Amino acid sequence: EIVMTQSPATLSVSPGERATLSCRASQSVSSNLAWYQQKPGQAPRLLIYGASTRATGIPARFSGSGSGTEFTLTISSLQSEDFAVYYCQQYNNWPRTFGQGTRLEI
Amino acid sequence: EVQLVESGGGLVKPGGSLRLSCAASGFTFSSYSMNWVRQAPGKGLEWVSSISSSGSSIYYADSVKGRFTISRDNAKNLLYLQMNSLRAEDTAVYYCAGATVTTSPFDDWGQGTLVTVSS
C-alpha cells in the first residue's frame, strides 16, 4: 500500500497570503495525484488532478506541481472561502490512498 | 448538473448488516466508474471500494474485503454497498463518488450518509 504523508498537519495563514501544502508518496505514483478540498459538513471537492491540472471551475489561484513522490499544492492569494482541509490522493495503485489532510486556518 | 444522493445509513448493532444506495443523475451513469469513500467522525478520508462502468472490475480496501460488496444497476442509475458483519470501526459518513474511469480521480461526490455501528 502506498502511504501518502501530508505536511504540515495545520497551516495558519492570513487572507491574501500564499499557502504551500506538501504531499509525499512512499513510492512513485507518477503524476496520478489529486488534491481535494473539504469544508466542514461538506463533501470533498476535486481541485487538482494529474498533479497539476485544475478541475472544472477551480480558480487559477490554485496550482499543483510535482511528480513521482513529491507534490505541492499552492494557493497564491488566500481568500476567506479557502480555509478548509485539503487532502491529496494517489490513484496510480490499488488500494487508492489519501493523505491525512492539512487544515488551513486563519 | 451531476447529482449523487446517498441513502440507507443509520444505526446498526455490531455484526449487523446495512445496504447503502447512491442515486445518480445528470450524467451518463453507465459510462462512469463509481466509488465509495468513508470518513470516520473527525478523521480523514478512506477509500472503500470501486467498480468499473460495466461492473466487470471491482476493488476493495483490505479493511472491508469479504464483508462489503459493491454493485451497480446501470438501468436504474444506482450504486450499492452491501455491508455485512459491521464493526464499530465501520462507523463513518459514506460518500459515493464518480470517476471517468477506474484509473481517474473522483470528480463528483454525494453529500454522504452516516452509518453508526453501536450496541
In Å, what is the CA distance from A4 to each residue of A71, A100, B103? 10, 8, 18
Mean pLDDT of successive 10-residue stretches along chain A, which has 106 residues: 97 95 98 97 97 96 98 95 97 97 94
Q: From the list B46, B103, B109, which residue is nearest A98 (CB)?
A: B46
What confidence category does residue B103 fall into, taking pLDDT thresholds of 50, 70 and 90? confident
Q: Determine what percent of chain A is predicted with pLDDT higher than 70.
A: 100
DSSP B42: T
How much is the pLDDT for B98? 94
Mind listing the pLDDT tens digit for each residue in B47-101?
999 999 999 999 999 999 999 999 999 999 999 999 999 999 999 999 999 998 8
| Inter-chain residue contact B105 with A97, CB threshold 8 Å | no
Q: From the list A55, A94, A98, which residue is nearest B45 (CB)?
A: A98
State the virtual CA torsion across B104, B58, A95, B12 in degrees, nearest 10: 110
Q: 3-class SS at B95?
A: strand
Mind listing the pLDDT tens digit for each residue in B13-50?
999 999 999 999 999 999 999 999 999 999 999 999 99
Average pLDDT along chain A: 97
DSSP B67: T
